[in-house]
Chain A
Amino acid sequence: MRISIDYLSKSDRMKIIMNLQELKRDIGAKLDKISSLQDLEAFSVLYLGKKGKIRDMFSRMKDIDPKERKRMGQEINVCVQEVESRLQKMKIRFSENSQDSQEKIFTRDAERFDYSIPKIGHLHPITSTINEMNAIFISMGYSIMDGPEIEEDEYCFQRLNVPDDHPARGMQDTIYIKEPGILLRTQMSSIEARILANYKPPFKVVSSGRVYRNEKVNKSNHFIFHHYQGVAVLEKLSLKDLFGTLNVVFEKMYGNNVVVRYRNKYYPEVEPGVGPDMQCFNCRGKGCPLCKGVGWIEMGGAGIIHPRVMEMAGIDNGKWMGFAFGLGLDRWVMAKYNIIDIRTLLGGGLGYKYHEYESNL
């Protein structure tokens, strides 16, 4: 309701002054409660906007006599300036803390995030398998050894109870560097012969590496393949210890459900000799192309070290006993990594996916 223009009565003038005081108190209280840019915006509209409360105060000045008007007008202006100054400071403060401004500051300082996936390095599957087996044997107190690949007939055959005229010579086709004395080792047992000759018992040793046989190369055969060999010479050993040791390896490599059998099998360097077989994981013993219908896969050879081998190494058979074992690695590795062609293992088609890794945890 419009109040008459000709100057308000004293009481009405008092009311306007009181309203101003009240407004100032109200503004003060509201300012204290502003906690965000949104609150600040809302406050600005309510009090400083065209239809705001302070504007409304200004519009009521015309009803006051000029002497009072000037004074009140000045008071309102001071109030507006104080409010605006305070609002300005608040605005700056809120802007610095806002998500947008934070983002701008950090973005300026931040490097561009690289979303590319790093290439992961890989060990050859044969190395991985050897590492796994070495870890098993190290936990049983074995040392790791290696030896020459260019070998002497003495260590590859003679010291392993295979003299020149022994029928077992026909079992392996040898690649010679200089026949008959220098050759490429046909088995890792040559390292066993060197260990027996050069170290005093007791000892437990495993070794792994390449061996060479004079065979044609095709999908399932190669003239180079990989063996894992072990030898232990202690004061007391038996076939039971040997079977137990091999079983630990098979279970750790293939799981507790692996089925293994140990049968008598002749090797010239051991007596009694052992042939460990694993039940074919493909057909569970029923017979299939993988196991050539037998139901079992031959894993290698083992046995108690032959007394003649110990004699040639100068080890007292009466005091010491030893066992030895040799396991073929290639078919094992091929089965584990789904490799069909044995030639892949030595180059020619082996690759590693950049971003995948075999965790042995």
Chain B
Amino acid sequence: MKVIYSQLLQLIPGLKASPKEVGEAMTFAGFMMDAFEEIKYQDKKDYLLSFEIRQNRADCFSVFGIAREVAAYYGLKAVLLQKKIDDEQKLSVLPVKVEVENNEVKRIIALRMSDIKNRQSPQWLRDFLEIYGLNGKNALVDISNYIMILTGYPSHLLDSDKVDGNLRWTNVKEDEKITTLDGSIIDLTQKNELVIRDNKKILALAGIVGSQVAAIDVGTTNVIAEMAVYNGAIIRRDARSTKIVTEASNRLEKDLDPESAGIAMGLMINMIKDICGGRLASRIFEYYPMRKVCQAIKFDATMPSFYAGVEIPLSFSLDILKRLQFTVRKTDKNDIYSVICPPHRTDIFYPQDLYEEVIRVFGYDKIPVDKVPLLEITADITPKRIIASRKIREILNSCGFDEILSLPLVERGESKRANYLAWEAIETENSINENYPELRLTLLNGLLRQTRDYLKKNIEIVDLFEIGKVFGKSDGEFREFESLGIFVCRGEKALCLLKANIEKVMRMLGCTDIIYRPSRMIPELANPYNCKMIEVGGKNCGIIYKLRPKAVVAKNAYFAEINIDELLTVINTTANPVVELASKLVPLDVNVELDVDDNPGEYIQSIKNRVGGDKIWSMQIVDSFAAGNKIKYTIRISYLGLIDPEAKKIHSELFVGNVF
């Protein structure tokens, strides 16, 4: 919201602060000055201050609102114009119907004027509007805009000679169109938009924009003026569905005080009379079904100090509230007051709202920032998943892997080609980024995209990983879990590197029973002859596979994905790898022959189960080669805590004729 400094001086007699000082004070008080400009206004040097107004302060989207705040800050009084409308008793009330739910419209004030001489606005008005980026059109339109900027209340002026019959506030029931003042044609298709119409046509999208059909022009002599305050949610809804944002809708979608609309209407009507002449041609129509009543709020005058953490004198607290036009009454309890807020403050409900009022005018800059707080010691409630993810990153980082983060929203169908679980993609309903409508089912897509980018840029070695959420739906439920994706693409030994590192990760987290099985679900991008499921502790925790050459520019690319949430359920937290080495290990080899489809990992595990884990230091496949439709493995078992004869006895009993 922009404010001209000279106008503040006019509205706040006694204001001595410089424009920059005013800007800085308002910044700390809740209205950040986001622009400051020296300007020429009415042939004099002046300053234009622009403030950010937050959603809760509908009253401050106006010069009056800012003036009230500045005056309160400096302990001065803002003198804001007020003019009444002389309601002509002998005239009839403007006939208006309001056919909406009670809570959609809070207040309407409307009347008709006649014998108006619309013309070009006076120079001062055109100069003023130019500061706010508005071109002067004609006096009537310019006055409406001026009052909106001054008071924060938009209004709508209609050429009453172009209106057929009576005004009606109602909701659209069928698909209709409206041609706005700037010539845009808007489709109203939601079948609930709030409009103002006459007997034949729509005159305005209420609170947002007027229609061309009853537009004011220089020849207008008879006018219907309406000023309305709405339920902000309705204006927001309609502005969103029609994709129209105007200065009017920007104000009316907030919680604007209906009570103060009367003052704004009075100023506007009197200004029209002053500049364009004219007279009232109807009595004032008013629709105000629920008159606003300001409730009293209990205020403990000691609490602002408690909330701020610094001492704020009680008398100062009370003085600030009064400066802000709150009515403060003592109660029979010490330090407890009953406070009634002024009607324009639609954001005050709780005592804490009042504490904030005191502290923000007292000044946040008076609260020390250099004291390191000594806060109570609290229990550590960090879940395992966070610790596991951190540990995984450290492990892979130290193994030379680079981390990427990729888009969780992907092209339609893109993720399905790499999916390995029994679920479907989740699609967003309203993403304006049409290229990314689906949530990813797997981490492969992002890793693949990064790899292709690297290969195009001549980066030869690709060792990447990502930890992030993957999403899917099954049985109507939306699911997400934390996943680890690792991608290796290099000339040789890609699979070795990948397998070694995922096992390193899993073992360092505490997983021991790791087995690779043929995967039941083979992703489209996977080489079906080189795709395995990763089973840990009997649970399916992930997948590892070679990518089809066409998926990647290079030939030797491998990917693994692990469900971290699932992995955490099978972590062995009681494993103890530490031993006292009292004697030498006894390494003994055995040659075994397994079918091509047999899982040597499972075989090794079964040996370990038979012998007992406490007697085994390590079990490794030291050699393997294909022999027809079998594979021969040389397995080296290093026995722990056994003397030679004992180890040999166990070994020979296990492998009679090299058969287990």
Contact = CB atoms under 8 A, between A and B. Distances in A.
Interface of A: 118-124, 126-127, 131, 140-141, 143-146, 148-150, 164-171, 175-179, 182, 184, 199, 202-205, 210, 212, 214-217, 223-224, 232, 234-235, 237-241, 243-248, 260-266, 268, 271-275, 292-294, 304, 306-308, 345-352, 354
A184 B356 contact: no
Given A240-B367, A247-B370, 19 more contacts: A127-B393, A127-B403, A150-B471, A167-B55, A167-B236, A176-B428, A177-B427, A177-B429, A182-B478, A217-B433, A223-B433, A244-B372, A247-B369, A247-B372, A264-B356, A266-B30, A271-B350, A304-B352, A351-B459
Nearest to A119: B400
B453 interface: yes
A232 B381 CA distance: 13
Nearest to A142: B378
Contacts of B403: 121-124, 127
- Most B-side CB within 10 Å, residue of A148, A170, A203: A170
Contacts of B431: 175, 214, 223
- Most A-side CB within 10 Å, residue of B353, B368, B375: B375
B402 A262 contact: no
B397 A123 contact: yes
Given A149-B480, A347-B407, A262 B369 contact: yes
A256 to B, nearest CB: 11
Given A122-B403, A146-B385, A202-B378, A261 B352 contact: no
The majority secondary structure among interface residues of chain A is mixed
Contact of B232 (A165, A179, A214): A165
Contacts of A176: 428-430
Nearest to A209: B469
A264 B31 CA distance: 8
11 contacts: A145-B383, A237-B375, A239-B364, A241-B309, A243-B367, A263-B28, A264-B29, A264-B364, A272-B360, A294-B35, A350-B450
Contacts of A171: 55
A122 B403 CA distance: 6
A293 B377 CA distance: 42
Contact of A352 (B353, B390, B402): B402
Contacts of A260: 369
Nearest to A198: B381
Interface residues of B, number: 93
Contacts of B7: none
Contacts of A165: 231-233
Interface of B: 27-30, 32-35, 54-58, 231-233, 236, 253-255, 306-310, 347, 350-353, 355-356, 359-360, 364-365, 367-373, 375-383, 385-386, 390, 393, 396-409, 426-433, 436, 439, 446, 449-450, 453-454, 457, 459, 461, 463, 469, 471, 478, 480
Given A214-B432, A240-B309, A240-B371, A167 B255 contact: yes
A204 B54 CA distance: 28
Contact of B381 (A205, A304, A349): A205
Contact of A244 (B54, B373, B379, B406): B373
A177 B408 CA distance: 14
Contacts of B56: 167-168, 266, 268
Nearest to B459: A351
Contacts of A273: 356
A351 B402 CA distance: 9
B378 A347 contact: no
Nearest to A204: B378
Nearest to A199: B381
B241 to A, nearest CB: 12
A307 B429 contact: no
A150 B364 contact: no
Contact of A204 (B34, B371, B375, B457): B375
A131 B433 CA distance: 31
Contact of B430 (A175, A215, A262, A348): A175
A167 B369 CA distance: 31
Contact of A239 (B367, B399, B400): B367
A179 B373 contact: no
A203 B379 contact: yes
Contacts of A248: 372
B30 A170 contact: no
Contacts of B306: 238
B64 to A, nearest CB: 19
A347 B450 contact: yes
B303 to A, nearest CB: 11
Contacts of A120: 400
B382 A143 contact: yes
A124 B467 CA distance: 11
A301 to B, nearest CB: 10
A19 B34 CA distance: 113
A272 B352 contact: yes
Nearest to B354: A271
Contacts of A262: 364-365, 367, 369
Contacts of B457: 351
A306 to B, nearest CB: 7
A261 B368 CA distance: 11
A141 B429 CA distance: 41
A356 to B, nearest CB: 12
A308 B378 contact: no
A124 B57 contact: no
B522 to A, nearest CB: 26
B407 A150 contact: no
Q: Which 9 A-B pairs give the minimum distances between C-beta atoms?
A: A240-B309, A238-B309, A165-B233, A266-B54, A272-B356, A264-B360, A264-B30, A241-B373, A167-B55
